[in-house]
């Protein structure tokens, strides 16, 4: 059945929204998941609740920033609506510049930021547009628990998978020392319409081999409850 939202599961919904205001990260396929005139977010939530019921803990994804007014309109209105429906804990994603400094709602909200790398040079190469220092500042000053995504081999800077994984290990160790409630590691995949896809087609970028990544995960020496891995 066709839905107004992109996809959903009992604890999550991927909304169809306006495009990300930044829109420059080379690995991102946000154009696939957004539209200039998306259906109302409330319609999407209502449809989702009708299909899955109202979870106490809901993860909302929107290819961009939940707190960006230009993309989402008032975040407080959305959160109040979800709270009134019965949601009590919310996970959203945002770029750091949009994360509010006060929570004017009753909802417990955790925020994931796509940090991707702790290294400034790599952040520049992937066009991230912010640095680790900015994310740490938000984690220290915002009322919301802040988690980060890290990407394994996000660009062609890494000439071998081994180098990419060595940097990833350093990134994880660095993040574990910072005030993040979760560090979610993901293997970079080729997203349709992304700049990385163009590089891949021109043989300028080779994705990290999945088997090597799986082995790295198994052998990574630090076990920490904050460290999670995406099923990529």
User: Would you tell me which residues interact with ligand SF4 (CB under 6 A)?
Assistant: 20, 22-25, 28, 30, 63-64, 95, 114
- Least CB distance to ligand SF4 at residue 70 (A): 12
CB nearer to ligand SF4: give 93 or 167.
93
Q: DSSP code of 221?
A: S
Q: Report the 10 Å Cβ neighbour count for 50.
A: 8
Burial of 182: CB neighbours in 10 Å, binned 0-12, 13-18, 19+ = middle
Determine the Cα–Cα distance for residues 186 and 105; give it in Å rounded to an integer: 31
- Least CB distance to ligand SF4 at residue 94 (A): 9
- Least CB distance to ligand SF4 at residue 148 (A): 12
- Least CB distance to ligand SF4 at residue 185 (A): 15
For residue 36, give every residue at least 6 positions away whose Cβ sits within 8 Å of its Cβ, in sequence order, or none: 18, 19
CB nearer to ligand SF4: give 55 or 171.
171
Determine the Cα–Cα distance for residues 23 and 85; give it in Å rounded to an integer: 32
- Least CB distance to ligand SF4 at residue 105 (A): 23
Determine the Cα–Cα distance for residues 131 and 189; give it in Å rounded to an integer: 22
CB nearer to ligand SF4: give 63 or 117.
63
CB nearer to ligand SF4: give 78 or 191.
191
Angle at 36 between CA 195 and CA 43, to 5 degrees: 120
Determine the Cα–Cα distance for residues 153 and 213; give it in Å rounded to an integer: 10
- Least CB distance to ligand SF4 at residue 67 (A): 12
CB nearer to ligand SF4: give 20 or 82.
20
Q: DSSP code of 160?
A: S
CB nearer to ligand SF4: give 23 or 39.
23
φ, ψ for residue 30, nearest 5 deg: -60, -25
């Amino acid at each position: 059945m066709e839905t107004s939202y992109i996809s959903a599961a009992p604890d999550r919904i991927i909304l169809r929204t306006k495009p990300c205001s930044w829109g420059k990260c080379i690995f991102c396929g946000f154009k696939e998941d957004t539209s200039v005139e998306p259906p109302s977010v409330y319609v999407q939530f209502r449809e989702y609740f009708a299909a899955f019921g109202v979870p106490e803990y809901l993860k909302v994804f929107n290819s961009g920033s939940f707190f960006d007014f230009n993309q989402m309109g008032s975040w407080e209105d959305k959160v109040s609506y979800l709270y009134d429906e019965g949601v009590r804990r919310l996970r959203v994603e945002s770029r750091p510049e949009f994360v509010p400094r006060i929570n004017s709602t009753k909802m417990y909200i955790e925020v994931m930021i796509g940090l991707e790398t702790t290294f400034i040079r790599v952040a520049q190469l992937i066009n991230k547009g912010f640095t680790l220092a900015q994310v740490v500042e938000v984690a220290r000053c915002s009322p919301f628990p802040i988690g980060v995504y890290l990407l394994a081999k996000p660009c062609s800077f890494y000439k071998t998978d081994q180098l990419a994984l060595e940097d990833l290990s350093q990134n994880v160790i660095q993040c574990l020392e910072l005030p993040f409630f979760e560090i979610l590691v993901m293997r970079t995949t080729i997203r349709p319409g992304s700049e990385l896809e163009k590089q891949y087609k021109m043989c300028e970028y080779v994705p990290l081999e999945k088997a090597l990544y799986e082995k790295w995960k198994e052998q990574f020496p630090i076990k920490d409850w904050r460290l999670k891995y995406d099923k990529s």
